[in-house]
Chain A
Amino acid sequence: MPYQLAVNGRTHRIDEDGQTPLLWVLRDTLRLTGTKYGCGIAQCGACTIHVDGQPMRSCSLSLETAAGSQIVTIEAVEGPEAAAVRAAWVKRDVPQCGFCQSGQIMSAVALLRSNGAPTDDDIDRAMSGNICRCATYNRIRAAIHDAAQSSTSQAKTA
């Protein structure tokens, strides 16, 4: 049975089994390979995407559950928080191997959208499901603070 899947503002007709993990649909069917396969069991956060604005692990979300929701992947995440995160990531040179970073960024953007000035504890609570085997956690945390500050200053200027 085909499913209508709204990804990054476009609706796709996906003719796959409803129990297919969304991650496979994104990567193999839609060729959106920015979302990474890390563990496949919702333990690492590399496959994080936004579903109706909420960060979710696409390896643990079935196609039939995702159908009908608005899905945003790393390829299309945008807005002031996303721009601030991107700039902070570049400034801090956050990634090392980079494999987990699309998931880290999706979680960081979602965090800043719900909390414009997160403390270290807020960051740890929001980001604890995103694992980085290069252990870039300190840079990620610093970059999120930078992005928060930058978003706040932009909002004041505007």
Chain B
Amino acid sequence: MSWRHGFRSARPRRRRLRIGCVPLLAIIVAAVVLIAAIALWPRALPQPESIAATPPRSDVAQLRPVASFASIGDPETRSLALFTEAGRVIQHPRCMNCHPRDDRPTQTDAMRPHVPWVSRGPDDAGEPTLRCSTCHHAANFDASGVPGNPKWKLAPIEMAWQGKSLGEICRQMLDPARSHMDRAALLHHMTEDELVGWAWHPGGKRSPAPGTQAEFGALIKAWLESGARCPA
């Protein structure tokens, strides 16, 4: 071997794969058909599901019926037990949000400050220039998710519940100077009041208060009749 005769590599020369135009076109068409078949292959699409207006009964927290307290012989102990059960409603966010410790309502189950910033104003229904009715109307409005009731307003500041124990709330409720209600009016408020009743029909994804307003009213009635004892 010499430079004169040139150098030939020991490796065999690689042969280039040659594909004609027609097979190349066929490969491209086949690829396009495959991609289209994958994309258009019928598959199950998510179907719309109707959402129940109110959560199924089993998901809603229940209240113990008044009859279940009859086995408690001591009237004072029974009265305390009745109020403690009613307290599950009283201290529920649906009720507490409108019994704030100051002039600002809270909202959601987390009881965070109301957004936007609002204040109770002179009549507990908002500032004259930013009334509750700017957003809240006579009924829950599904389209915006804004809750509503014809009597939408805050409880008076004398009836602030947030930050208080159940016993403190109890004594406050029984004090007409703060609750502005005698016992008959208190029972009517708890049992019949339309805005209180909203707590069991709050709309949207809000969790309703436990039980029903009738069951809650029965607990309050039995508590008042058994001496209206308050927890410590």
Q: Closest approach, in angstroms, between the C-beta of A24 and any C-beta of chain B?
A: 9
Interface residue from B128, B129, B134, B138 paired with A65 (Cβ < 8 Å): B138
Residue A110 CB within 8 A of the other chain: yes
Interface-side segment among A27-35, A36-44, A87-95, A132-140: A36-44
Number of B positions contacting A (CB below 8 A): 22
Residue A83 CB within 8 A of the other chain: no
Q: Which of B108-145 contact A (CB under 8 A)?
A: 115-119, 127-131, 133-138, 141-145
Given contacts A21-B144, A41-B146, contact A54 B116 (CB under 8 A): no
Interface-side segment among A1-9, A70-78, A122-130, A150-158: A122-130
Residues of chain B within 8 A of A59, CB atoms compared: 143-144
Q: Closest approach, in angstroms, between the C-beta of B106 and any C-beta of chain A?
A: 16
Tally of contacts, chain A with chain B, CB under 8 A: 73
Task: Specify the chain A residue showing the minimal Cβ separation from B145.
Answer: A41
A55 near B143 with CB under 8 A, answer no
Residues of chain B within 8 A of A56, CB atoms compared: 133-135
A43 near B129 with CB under 8 A, answer no
A114 near B128 with CB under 8 A, answer yes
Residue A62 CB within 8 A of the other chain: yes
Interface residue from B116, B134, B137, B142 paired with A55 (Cβ < 8 Å): B134
How many chain A residues sit at the interface, stated as a range, is 20 to 34
Q: In the docked arrangement, what's the CA distance between A107 and B134, Å?
A: 10
Residues of chain B within 8 A of A107, CB atoms compared: 129
Residue A14 CB within 8 A of the other chain: no
Task: Specify the chain A residue showing the minimal Cβ separation from B117.
Answer: A128
Q: In the docked arrangement, what's the CA distance between A19 and B127, Å?
A: 27
Residues of chain A within 8 A of B145, CB atoms compared: 41
Residues of chain B within 8 A of A40, CB atoms compared: 143-144
B144 near A128 with CB under 8 A, answer no
Residue A145 CB within 8 A of the other chain: no
* Per-residue contact bits, chain B 131-163, to A (CB 8 Å; 1 contact, 0 not): 101111110011111100000000000000000
What would 11 more interface pairs be, CB under 8 Å, given A55-B134, A60-B137? A19-B142, A21-B143, A42-B135, A56-B134, A56-B135, A57-B144, A60-B143, A65-B138, A122-B129, A128-B116, A128-B130
A: residues with CB less than 8 A from B are: 19-21, 40-43, 45, 54-57, 59-62, 65, 107, 110-111, 114-115, 122, 125-126, 128-129, 131
A-B contact pairs, 29 of them (CB 8 A): A19-B142, A20-B143, A21-B141, A21-B143, A21-B144, A41-B146, A42-B135, A43-B116, A54-B133, A57-B134, A57-B135, A60-B141, A60-B143, A60-B144, A60-B146, A61-B141, A62-B137, A62-B141, A62-B143, A111-B129, A114-B128, A115-B128, A125-B129, A125-B130, A128-B116, A128-B118, A129-B117, A129-B130, A129-B135
